């Protein structure tokens, strides 16, 4: 944990339980939900973390101004209000809580679809104005109707499950899923045009991307049945607002229910205002007590764990999309990073080339390389490098990177082998994870070892003659430096020995100089990891 107090800015409403997670961790929480951009530009240079919902826009200017910012936490799913490329380029982790509000969003979808189908909102308005307009408010059943679900992620699947319980036929469109994921009894997968033409109801559940912006414009809306209706509880802008208003007013389609908008809150002259067959709600998809509490607590826990313990269990802008896999390989990522830290301290000159080879039951080897590079550059680019930007920063420094699988059978179930070349010298370091989470260095500079890569270490190379251990121990003792362990490894050279000394504290440079002056000592390298 850092000595300085961590500061987190909160600019959208969070539950008290979420705020308490941060405060209980001795984190300073700055809450300001009314700050404009100019105010934020003055605040953000001092913050380490920033937690938002959908109401705050974090653009490139704010990211550039946030000199210390390490993590942005989005309490919710969508991050189109965050300049993700700018954050990634600067090495800022962006986290969200994609699963917490899933049920709330799905239930809201069903709720407004039912309200739309049965004219509930219009009926309420007219009855409150004194009109008993029963004959003009004939609705339609959901049973035996076809719903087209655009995007079959977690929310889309929850909507699918609920629609099936109504006796609806479900067709889906999602370019990122394969046909064998769903039973044909549950959903028929098809292309977007076919879905648009065949559906009685269309529910949109895709992220806001360049490819989904104005996904439903007037041209596509005209493909829909005149009796059909469309629902959007995803992100504003996926359905073109002007085109949708025109289509409903002109009777091209029967109606729409919309919970999200391009600009929020909407203006009084928004094109959806006062159109009977367009039901609008003010971004209520995740607005349940359960969801608000859940996303608040979850994002605060994630941000806290990252800032205090460097524990990363959820992030959008990293090359691992499967968080289950991330959890499985996290010890190996930590080992890779520790090995990078050690290699970075061993490499005194300009690094020319890095090799990372991995042996073990892993499908993707790049995360190990990124973690290693992050550690390697840790002392060279303090407070800037992480495994998001590590590869880019290394290449900017002319470092050639090679990584992949080590297919040679060895003595270890998993093995991470690293090589760093600098000043035409190559330094080798191998590590392995034992029993699921026990980190070990198993080869250091060509010497077989068994070392936990943590704490204060001395790498000592000396002539293989009697008395060296005693001289080293005596000198360190004279300077009140406690030795935790003195681990020897014989060299293939009969006249040399290599030792790793675990210490209770860092060794002053003056003591290192005295150690080097011992006649039998060939080299001493202090390692802090």
Report the C-alpha gap between 451 and 422 in whole angstroms: 24
Instruction: Write the CA distances from 442 to 339, 429, 432, integer angstroms.
Output: 11, 8, 7
Sign of CA dihedral 187, 191, 195, 198: negative
Provide the annotated active-site residues.
235, 264, 283
Q: Are 422 and 352 in contact (CB under 8 A)?
A: yes
Give CA 378 to chain center in angstroms: 20
Helix (H, G, I), strand (E, B) or coil at 346: helix
Q: Are strands 71-74 and 93-96 parallel, antiparallel or unpaired?
A: parallel
Instruction: Count CA atoms closer than 13 A to 369's CA, side-chain side.
Output: 21
Helix (H, G, I), strand (E, B) or coil at 360: coil
Q: Are 58 and 82 in contact (CB under 8 A)?
A: yes
Concatenating the DSSP letter of every residue in 374-441 gives: HHHTTTTSTTT--TTTHHHHHHHTT-EEEEEE--S--S-SSEEEEEEEETTEEEEEEEEEETTTEEEE
Q: What are the b/e assignments for 82-92, b being 16+ CB within 10 Å?
A: bbbebbbbbbb
Q: What are the b/e assignments for 240-266, b being 16+ CB within 10 Å?
A: bbebbbebbeeebbbbbbbbbbeeeeb
Report the C-alpha gap between 394 and 401 in whole angstroms: 8
């Amino acid at each position: 944990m850092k000595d300085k107090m961590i500061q987190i800015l909160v600019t959208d409403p969070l539950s008290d339980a979420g705020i308490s997670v941060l405060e209980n961790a001795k984190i300073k929480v700055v809450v300001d939900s009314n700050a404009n951009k100019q105010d934020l530009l003055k605040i953000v240079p001092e913050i380490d973390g920033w937690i938002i919902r959908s109401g705050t826009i974090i653009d490139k200017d704010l990211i550039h101004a946030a000199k210390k910012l390490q993590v942005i936490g989005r309490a919710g799913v969508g991050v189109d209000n965050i300049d993700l490329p700018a954050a990634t380029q600067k090495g800022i982790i962006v986290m969200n809580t994609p699963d917490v509000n899933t049920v709330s969003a799905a239930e809201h979808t069903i709720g407004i679809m039912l309200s739309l189908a049965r004219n509930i909102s219009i009926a309420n308005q007219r009855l409150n104005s004194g009109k008993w307009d029963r004959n003009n408010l004939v609705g339609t059943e959901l049973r035996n109707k076809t719903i087209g679900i655009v995007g079959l992620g977690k929310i889309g699947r929850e909507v699918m499950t609920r629609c099936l319980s109504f006796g609806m036929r479900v067709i889906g469109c999602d370019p990122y899923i394969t046909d064998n994921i769903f039973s044909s009894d549950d959903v028929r997968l098809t292309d977007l045009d076919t879905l648009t033409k065949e559906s009685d109801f269309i529910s949109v559940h895709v992220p806001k991307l360049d490819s989904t912006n104005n996904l439903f414009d007037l041209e596509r809306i005209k493909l829909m049945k005149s009796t059909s209706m469309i629902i959007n509880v995803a992100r504003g802008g996926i359905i073109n607002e002007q085109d949708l208003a025109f289509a409903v007013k002109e009777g091209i389609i029967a109606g729409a229910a919309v919970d999200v908008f391009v600009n929020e809150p909407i203006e009084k002259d928004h094109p959806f205002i006062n159109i009977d067959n367009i039901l609008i709600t003010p971004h209520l998809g995740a607005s349940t007590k359960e969801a608000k509490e859940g996303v608040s607590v979850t994002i605060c826990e994630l941000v806290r764990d990252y800032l205090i313990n460097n524990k990363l269990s959820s992030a959008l802008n990293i090359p691992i999309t499967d968080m289950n896999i991330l959890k499985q390989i996290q010890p190996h990522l930590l080992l890779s990073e520790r090995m990078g830290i050690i290699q970075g301290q061993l490499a005194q000159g300009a690094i020319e080339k890095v090799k990372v080879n991995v042996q073990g039951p892993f499908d993707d080897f790049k995360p190990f390389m990124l973690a290693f590079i992050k550690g390697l550059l840790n002392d060279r680019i303090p407070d800037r490098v992480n495994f998001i930007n590590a590869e880019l920063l290394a290449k900017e420094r002319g470092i050639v990177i090679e990584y992949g699988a080590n297919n040679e059978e060895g003595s270890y179930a998993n093995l991470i082998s690293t090589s760093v070349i600098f000043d035409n010298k190559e330094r080798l370091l191998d590590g392995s994870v034992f029993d699921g989470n026990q980190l070990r260095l198993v080869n250091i500079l060509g010497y077989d070892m068994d070392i936990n890569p943590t704490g204060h270490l001395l790498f000592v190379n000396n002539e293989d003659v009697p008395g060296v251990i005693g001289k080293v121990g005596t000198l360190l003792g004279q300077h009140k430096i406690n030795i935790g362990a003195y681990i020897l490894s014989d060299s293939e050279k009969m006249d040399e020995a290599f030792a790793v000394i675990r210490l209770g504290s860092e060794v002053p440079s003056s003591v290192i100089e005295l150690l080097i002056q011992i006649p039998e000592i060939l080299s001493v390298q202090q390692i802090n990891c």
